[in-house]
Amino acid sequence: MANEDFKKILIQNVELKYPRLNETYRFNTAKRQSEPCAPTASGASWSIAWTMSAEQGNALYKELKAHYLARQAAGGIKAEFTGIFGMKKLEDGTVEVRAKRNGTKASGEVNMPPIVIGGDKQPLADKGIWSGSKGNVRCFACPVTDPEGKAGVSLFLDALQVTHAVYGGGGLDDFADVGPTKQAGAVDDPFAADAPEDDPFATPAPKPTPAKADYDDEIPF
């Protein structure tokens, strides 16, 4: 993949879900649940999901699709766009998006974990946050093709800024203030560190749910 295939995306002020940041996890198909594993295990990754309004989700969808079509026009991609892997519309009308970082690179070398910082831009001491935490997500969007030959865009996790952390039981009373957050619409990237020079996203994306047709204007779910 060329460097131009990776587009930096910054998503601000979102509610976080299913954080897998303190160690790598993989999905156990027999138990139908995620479980901790070594970074070298098959399917191992760090990951995070978040929810957005329908309006925010549609805007992100269009931005990611435009990136795919731009790379296709540049001659590096032949397959037709089918959707955004890891993005789905929920019953309440909000949109859920997931990003991950693989445990290993294509070479088999163990990857560096994603950067996780607090509101003060310092490393977060306890990365074992729960769903319901809030923060800003930085990831890279890249055109990929899944094992079934469907082509689209996947989001690869680079860094996470936790602005409000939930630990333990997950109730709202458990929020811990880790520092001020920037207001929505701020143009500054809240992450001080740049992405690693080595490409941590070389291994294929997991098999996504097949996307539906006609994605021109809205999220196709």
For the chain, the structural domain boundaries read: 3-26+34-177
- Give percent of the chain above pLDDT 90: 67
Q: Note the pTM of the prediction, 2 decimals.
A: 0.74
Burial class (CB in 10 A: 0-12, 13-18, 19+), 187: exposed
Mean pLDDT of the chain: 82
Is the model's pLDDT at 42 over the cut of 70? yes
Q: What is the pLDDT of residue 187?
A: 37
DSSP H or E stretch at residue 18:
strand 7-28
The secondary structure of 166-221 as a DSSP string is --TT--GGG-EE----PPTT--S-S--SPPPSS-TT-SPPPPPPPPPS--SSS---
58's CB contacts (< 8 A; 6+ apart) are 95, 217, 218, 219
Provide the pLDDT for residue 121. Answer: 95
Q: Which fold has domain 3-26+34-177?
A: OB fold (Dihydrolipoamide Acetyltransferase, E2P) (2.40.50)
Question: pLDDT tens digits, residue range 2-14?
Answer: 788 999 999 999 9
Q: In 3D, which of 96, 119, 111 has the Cα closest to residue 177?
A: 119
Q: What is the pLDDT of residues 175-208, one digit of tens each?
A: 555 565 543 333 345 554 443 334 333 334 444 4
Amino acid identity of residue 82, one-letter, is: T
Find the mean pLDDT for residues 55-60: 96
pLDDT tens profile 75-90:
878 889 999 999 999 9
